[in-house]
Structure 1
């Protein structure tokens, strides 16, 4: 008579069971590839200005015409009294750029470091307005990328290293210090790694490739906070749900956080709902914090810093829940039995 375990194994290795397992695996992998394609392709296909904040200045008649031309879902227009006020609004992160209309021509004010796509679209629009007035358009890049990296290639390539900087230490420390007994060691390890890795990435991008500007220590701490937000969340998910939780968290950050971060284009180049989701996730918040610290002297850093701090708190909370659950499940030492003396 065969045991239930043996019969279960025979059913799993039967031709019908093998075929069903193969079908499930193939369908699951196909769904994963399709999800990856949607996550990376849809933001690019639907990319464009979505309520992108810009400014205009000049005579009332010409600014009214420009405001009417820019009216729609693509741009959010604010009228300023002078080109100086418009330029100040760019530095204050109130707008992404603007156009100053005057009798002598058209001045286009851009901030390539805030969003290269918006800067290119405003430049093209300024040239069109200048041709209509038979004038010349002059472009002023108010906040450009550094001279050593004028296209911002180093900055835009920082998304994946930040994600892997949170994922790899979580996986490695989970392997080295597994179980409930190693949970606190894993948390201390990922926090220490985040500080070291943030300083290393900032050093490479600022002094190695010249891709970043601004205060080095502020940029370094911002990068460390972004990596800590990812790594503590991964540690908490793994401690509470096992490697399935770690895998699910990694998939979300890779498939949604990376393409929706807006690091290459700026968040206003994504549809409103996608942009909001991207800025809530750690990769998008890390990119916005890096942009604010590296190019705008910390202006606009508060919201992404608070977002990343909330993710760190979430990861620590998950780890605390897992720690308490592990303590409640750990076996307690048996009470010492009094020795019985012989009669």
Structure 2
């Protein structure tokens, strides 16, 4: 009786089995979905950018202020602006410098003026400028526009501040990832994050303020704000790594890149983003850093308290997670 033997396919030494077509298609589909998420995250806020609850001051008699509010609602939308009546021009300028309002409309018997602050938001200042130009003559228009807090002449559109958000995100992710993957010891990991944050803050400020002239104010204060932004992201990765392992790097990177960066409001303003999303961006490190940097650079720190609290909370959470007993198998 002859036994039939089934011959198994033999592979040469060092050869690899071809990847299954299902895996190839799955990887291609995954990348396509990722690209869809990226374009949605970055394009959607910009495509739906519009004034939403932007605080604007008015210096005018109460009756006139009420009529002006109705005109603004009719021109830009019911919820586009929040009107607050101010006493005089000095009060209006101070409210702008304190970041209580983005601009102010001054109406009087001799005509009207529009006060703006390009440094607070070029997009909002542009929207207010368009409103000033469209005020009819019977209402005192068109209004002359005065920029109370302008941006530097070398960066009149505020591109420098908006461009700083992504490097902050990259610096934070890099500091956390390098600490977790290359450094052993909790204290050494945190020290690595701190060193990268300090160095990154100094380099970014050197480029943006000294070279590009895109920042104003104190060099050291700006560098400190940027360092806090990098540190907030880095310490979060180090803390979560003790519980999630390397998945923490991908998780934090996805949140900061897909949500934190496009929702930061650095190129426009939180009030210009779709409802709710601007507020979300301000409780993430990129948005908080951009707000703090804008306030410290041009407004002597006015309006930065909330941003610093947010950054402090992220850093504190990262430190707390780092100090708690973790589940990671790596030596810490």
Q: 1:22 aligns with which of 21, 24, 31?
A: 24
SS state of the match for residue 135, structure 2?
Answer: helix
Corresponding position of 2:8: none
Other-structure match for 1:4: none
Q: Which runs of 5+ in 2 are unaligned?
A: 1-16
- Contact 1:130–1:137 (Cα < 8 Å) also in 2: no
Superposed CA RMSD? 2.2
Task: Output one character per residue of 1:50-77: Cα deviation in whole Å (capped at 9) or x when no partner.
Answer: 1111111123443222111123111111
**How far apart are residue 226 of structure 1 and its match?**
0.8
Residues 246-280 of structure 1, C-alpha deviation per residue, up to 9 Å, x if partnerless? 11110110011100000010111112310111001
1:119-130 pair list within 5 angstroms: 119-130=125-136
Q: 2:173 touches 2:234 (CA, 8 Å); kept in 1?
A: yes
Deviation of 1:128 (Å): 1.2
Match of 1:257 in 2: 260
CA distance in 2 between counterparts of 1:316 and 1:172 reads 17
CA contact (8 A) 1:285 1:305 kept: yes
The CA distance in 2 between the partners of 1:294 and 1:82, in whole Å, is 26
Q: Which deviates more from structure 2 when the two are superposed, residues 278-287 or residues 134-143?
A: 134-143
CA distance in 1, matches of 2:140, 2:257: 48
Contact 1:222 1:290 in 2 (8 A): yes
**Paired residues for 1:309-324 under 5 Å:** 309-321=312-324, 323-324=325-326
Task: Give the match for residue 161 of structure 1.
Answer: 167
Residue matched to 2:249: 246
The 1-side partners of 2:328 and 2:62 are apart by 69
Show CA shifts across 1:311-338 (max 9, x none). 01111222223x55459x98xxxxxxxx
Aligned counterpart, 1:63: 65
Work out whether 1:80 is the aligned partner of 2:86. Answer: yes
The within-5 A match list for 1:189-228 is: 189-228=192-231
- Is 1:287 the counterpart of 2:280? The answer is no
Q: For residue 139 of structure 1, what is the aligned residue in structure 2? A: 145
1-structure distance, mates of 2:315, 2:159:
28
Equivalent residues of 1:106, 1:126 under 8 A apart: no
Offset of 1:154 from its aligned partner? 1.4
**Aligned with residue 231 of structure 1, among 234, 257, 279:** 234
Offset, 1:137: 2.2
Partner of 2:40: 38
Give the conservation status (yes or no) of the 8 Å contact 1:105–1:130. no
Q: 1:107: which partner in 2?
A: 113
1:21-61 Cα deviation digits (max 9, x unpaired): 23332332222111112111211121110111111112344
Distance in 2 of aligned mates of 1:248 and 1:223: 22
Farther off after superposition, 48-57 or 65-74: 65-74
Show the 5 A alignment for 1:261-280. Answer: 261-280=264-283
Query: Is contact 1:96–1:111 with CA below 8 Å preserved after alignment?
Result: yes
Tell me the secondary structure at the aligned position of residue 106 of structure 1: strand
TM-score using structure 1 length: 0.85
Gap regions ≥5 residues in structure 1: 1-12, 331-343
Partner of 2:11 in structure 1? Answer: none
Give deviations 1:227-257, integer Å, cap 9, x for gaps: 1001111222233212222111101100111
> Aligned with 2:105: secondary structure?
strand
Answer whether contact 2:42 2:262 (CA < 8 A) is retained: yes
